[in-house]
Structures are given as structure tokens and as C-alpha cells.
Chains A and B, each alone.
Chain A
Amino acid sequence: MKCHEAKRHLDLFMDGELSVPENLKVLEHLNLCRPCGGVYEGEKALRAQLKSQLGSVQAPVGLAERLASSTEAGSALVERFRPSSPWRLISVAAAVVPFIIVLLFLFTSPIEKPQALATEVVTMHKETRDGFCGQHRDDRVCVCDNCCSEEAAKNLEIFFQKNVGHEDCRHDLGGLGYKPIGASVWRHRGQKVCWTVHRDEAGHTITHGLLTTKIAMEPGPMLVCDGVDRPVELIPAGNGMTCVFVFDNEGEAIRFRASRKAH
């Protein structure tokens, strides 16, 4: 690949939109060509800087509650631009207050139902399982093919330390034939989670993370399959945290459980 081609493909490469062969070609060129490598480093730094300054804006406190009170029964409130009679306002308030109380309870309650959490982590599993590699961003590290090299392990280590400190659990799934292929940051309930992706040679994927969410369940591992389209294993991890694994299919989940029992 020539320099002008590499530069032309740089944005697509950084956006994770190239095919695997094209991606490898660009990567190879960036590793070999110092000037292009410099342009790439500059772009990476610029994106990271813009993301940290513009991309970290958070919704105002109270917006979630305001939204919660604006559905169905409360939708009259949204049409607040229209003049209303005091009686109408009172009747709207009477209809809305019970909903606000229920939703406030749900938003602030520290204990979640396993199924709701499972649905959420399954979405995260699907978002990270495909097209993960080649996406070199500030908030994700990709170790791809060289998963077991010392450098790749170090990169993963630095990524974990940078994003969640030492309070995270990591699992070696090598015994099951899975290798780590990367990790990305997932902001879950306002907390940063390092969401790790492991894959075996057949392409089966396990994603995993430690969430600062307490699950309403008995002590011990639990497999959630009902109502979610991927099996999810939830393991209470103390301090109100839950260790979560998501699998591509039930066979993989059963294999994983059997192997853990064997240990």
C-alpha cells in the first residue's frame, strides 16, 4: 500500500469501516511507514481530545425523571405550552404522581431483576461481538491475532488500569479454547465497565464484565435464558457487584459451566 492510499483510507480505518484485508493492509503500512504512522498518531490524539472535551457532556440531573413523568399518563405535561385551567393541572398531577413514584423507585432501587439486566448485557454482547477488531479507538483496545503476546497482555492490562483501576475481574478462558481479542469501555449506570471479548477458533464469542449492579438473586451463579435471546451467566461478586458472562448459544454456556465446576 502506498502512502496516499493509506491516508485516504485512514478515516475509514479509524472508524472501523474497512474490510478485514483492507484493514490489515492499512495497519501494516502504518506500522512500517513512520510519516504515516505520525499522521495516524496525531489523528488519534485529536479524536481522543475532542471526545474527552465534547463527547463527555452528560444529561442534566433530573432529566431521566422528567422523561419518566412524560409518558402516556403524563404526556399532557409535555403540552405545557398550552394554557391550562387549574383543575386540569390538578387532575394531571393526580394521574402522574403515582407513576413518578413508581419510576423514581425503579431508577433508584439498588436491586435489579436478573432478566432486565440480562436483556441489557445481551445487547452489549451483540454490539461488541462482531467487527470488534480493527477498531482502534480511545475507548477500546484490540489485541486481535496476537492475543497471547506479552505486548497484547500489557496493552489489555494498561487499558483495565486506565479505565476501571484494579477493581475488575478478569478471567482466563484459555482452558476452554477462548482467547481474549479485546475490550471496550461500557458506561453502565454511570460507571465505567471494561467489557472483554473472548473468541474461540470456531468463532464462538463470550463477552464479560463486572457491573456495579446488585441482582435480586440467591447466592451462587445463575443462568438466565428465558425471555432473552442469548444465555447470560450472572455471578454475585460482593460489594453490590455482579460478574456477567454472555454466550452465543446455550451449548457454549453449558460447556462453560461444566468447565467451571470441574475447577
Chain B
Amino acid sequence: METQAEFAERVKPHLDSLYRTALRMTGENSAAEDLVQETFLKAYRGYGSFEPGSNFKAWLFTILTNAYINDYRRRSRTPVVTDFAEVEPEGEAETPHFSSEDVERLADRLGDAAKRALDRLPAEHRLVFLLSTFEDLSYKEISSALAVPIGTVMSRLFRARALLRRELADFARQEGYGQEKTTP
């Protein structure tokens, strides 16, 4: 087993990734720090189960995800979010797409609108979206981190993106831009 110092050194390059995911999941700086700390301790204690040669970052996210679902959410008594299927009916409804000009025009304001939209996503969908979009984990890695089949990862990601696009399109309309196109 690596020494504490070696382990801390290994985790350090992934600290920003762990923290920003924790922040988007908990919504608070101090809670995010606590979640990262809990993840770090669990990772250090369970390092014996890490398979050498596999993706270390993905393994850390597995622990962060479990810490969030099993401990943090239970402790903070966050209410169980309505099943996304109830919010968003199945099927390929029209999905709005932004043009690059729209994105350029809305640029700075998109971040806050996206944050609000993300916070409205059920935790499981948000996690998949964050891990894929911001942390570049493959579907396979997300599937193993969340212990769900790849098909579930794909459907959660599809729904998360569809809802996000729709929320951002609403925001664009409110801002006076009605340029977004819809796919047939």
C-alpha cells in the first residue's frame, strides 16, 4: 500500500474535478468540501481494492458518488426528487438546438441559466451529465461508478441534455433571442 503522502500526491491532480462535481451536487461550498474530504478518506482506506492499471480518476468518482448517495443525501435529508420519467415523457420530442451565433450572443449569461437548469435535474441525471460533460468519463466508466448499466447511463444523459437544452431555449426566448432551431 502506498504511504499517505504518495496517496495524497496521486489524488491531487483530480482535486478540482472532485470538488466541482461535489459543488454541483451539494450546492454549497462547505458541503462540497466535506464530501470531497469524505471521498478522500474512503479512497485512502479502500485503496487496497483499486485495481492497478484501471482509471484512478473514475475510481475516485465511484467513491464520491457512493459517498454522496449513501451518506450525504441521507444525512442532509434531501427529499427524493420526482422520477424524471414523470417530468419528461419518453420519446423523442423536439429538441431545440442552439446555433453557434446564439451561443456567442448569450455567452456570459448561459452559465447561470445552466446552473439553475442543472439544479432542477434529479441527482442521478445530474451526476451522469457532470461526469460525462465536465469530467470526460466514458459511458463505461460512469456505468461502473454509478453501478448502473450503460443503457441507463445513456438514457439519463439523453434526458438530462434534452431538459437542459429546453431550459436554455426558454431562457434564450426570455432574453429576446428566438433563434434556436428544432430538430425534426
Q: Which residues of A contact B (CB under 8 A)?
A: 3-4, 7-8, 11, 15-17, 38-39, 41-47, 49-51, 53-55, 57-60, 63-64, 66-68, 70-72, 75, 78, 99, 102-103, 106-107, 116, 120, 123, 126-127, 131, 137, 187-189, 229
Contact = CB atoms under 8 A, between A and B. Distances in A.
Given A53-B111, A59-B15, A66-B33, A16 B138 contact: yes
Given A67-B8, A71-B4, 18 more contacts: A11-B158, A11-B161, A17-B139, A42-B103, A45-B98, A45-B104, A50-B114, A53-B110, A55-B20, A58-B20, A63-B33, A67-B11, A67-B15, A70-B41, A103-B4, A107-B8, A123-B56, A188-B13
B53 interface: yes
Contacts, number: 140
B111 to A, nearest CB: 3
Interface string B37-72: 110110010000000110110000000000000000
A183 to B, nearest CB: 15
Interface of B: 4-13, 15-16, 18-20, 23-24, 29, 33, 36-38, 40-41, 44, 52-53, 55-56, 92, 97-100, 102-104, 107-108, 110-111, 114-115, 118, 132-134, 136, 138-139, 157-158, 161, 168, 181, 183-184
A156 B86 CA distance: 46
Consensus secondary structure, chain B interface: helix
B41 A58 contact: no
A107 B12 CA distance: 9
Contacts of B53: 126, 229
A137 B136 CA distance: 10
A47 B97 CA distance: 12
Consensus secondary structure, chain A interface: helix
Contacts of A131: 138
Nearest to A189: B13
8 smallest beta-carbon distances between A and B, as pairs? A53-B111, A59-B19, A55-B134, A57-B20, A45-B103, A45-B100, A71-B4, A42-B99
Contacts of A15: 132, 138-139, 157
B178 to A, nearest CB: 15
B107 A49 contact: yes
Given A50-B133, A127-B55, A229-B53, A41 B100 contact: yes
A42 B52 CA distance: 39
A58 to B, nearest CB: 5
